[in-house]
Amino acid sequence: MIVNNAEFSVAILAAGQGRRFGYPKALMRSENEYLLLDLLKQVKSLNPLETIVVLGSGQNIIKPMLPSWSRVVVNQQWQRGMSGSIQLALKSTSLKSSGVLLMTCDQILIQTDHLKRITASLSEFNSRSACIASSYNGTFGIPCYIGVNHFALFDTLRGDHGAKSVLGSLNPTLVPMGEAFNDVDTPEDLIAMLKKR
């Protein structure tokens, strides 16, 4: 099956407390714009079947500012780490979807053109069985595409472990994306990365 842009979902992980950053990274701003809203604009241009935002810490502040076309799911166990948010994102995906483009809210150098490197390659695969990951700095990870046939494998994740361990077992197709290496951990990171945007 060749996927078209209307058959996949996007899920943005934005549930963390941002301990090192000082507040939830979903609330990061550039001047008067929330960076999560900018990311949602980038994602919308991909024309996905749906856009899911996984919230947790600070969700009462963040949820009201999100556009109506996005769908919010809340990770009530966000303190347990990223694994629960990944699992919730996959379980919340529409039954009509062939898979999920999984992202985090703190890779702020990622733009639409970067994400299209992944979605454009979907036409080469059975989209329900595809696994495509970003490669950067000698490793790989998110943003990544996970076909629905692989969702159950991510049930093994625990704690603050991300998707990489399961992705590695799937021998993912790698798409070079150096911009994905940089994520925001501290206020200093944010200042430095905003200068690169």
Annotated domain spans of the chain: 9-196
Tens-level pLDDT at each residue, the chain (197 residues): 344 444 899 999 999 888 888 888 888 888 878 899 999 999 999 999 999 999 999 899 999 999 999 999 999 988 888 889 999 999 999 999 999 999 999 888 888 988 999 998 888 888 999 999 999 988 999 999 999 999 999 998 887 777 888 999 999 999 999 888 778 888 788 887 777 77
Angle at 114 between CA 160 and CA 18, to 5 degrees: 30
The residues facing 58 across adjacent strands are: 56
Q: For residues 192 and 19, what is the distance between their CA atoms, to the nearest angstrom?
A: 19
Neighbouring C-alpha atoms within 13 Å toward the C-beta of 146: 28
> What pLDDT sits at residue 172?
94
> What pLDDT sits at residue 170?
93
Q: Indicate the fold that domain 9-196 takes in CATH.
A: Spore Coat Polysaccharide Biosynthesis Protein SpsA; Chain A (3.90.550)
The residues facing 53 across adjacent strands are: 12, 72
- Residue 171, classified by CB atoms within 10 Å of its CB into exposed (0-12), middle (13-18) or buried (19+), is exposed
Q: For 6-32, give the secondary structure using H, E and C.
A: CCCEEEEEECCCCCCCCCCHHHCEECC
Q: Where are the beta strands (DSSP E) in the chain?
A: 9-14, 29-30, 33-34, 50-55, 71-74, 99-104, 131-136, 139-147, 173-176
> What pLDDT sits at residue 4?
43
> What pLDDT sits at residue 2?
42
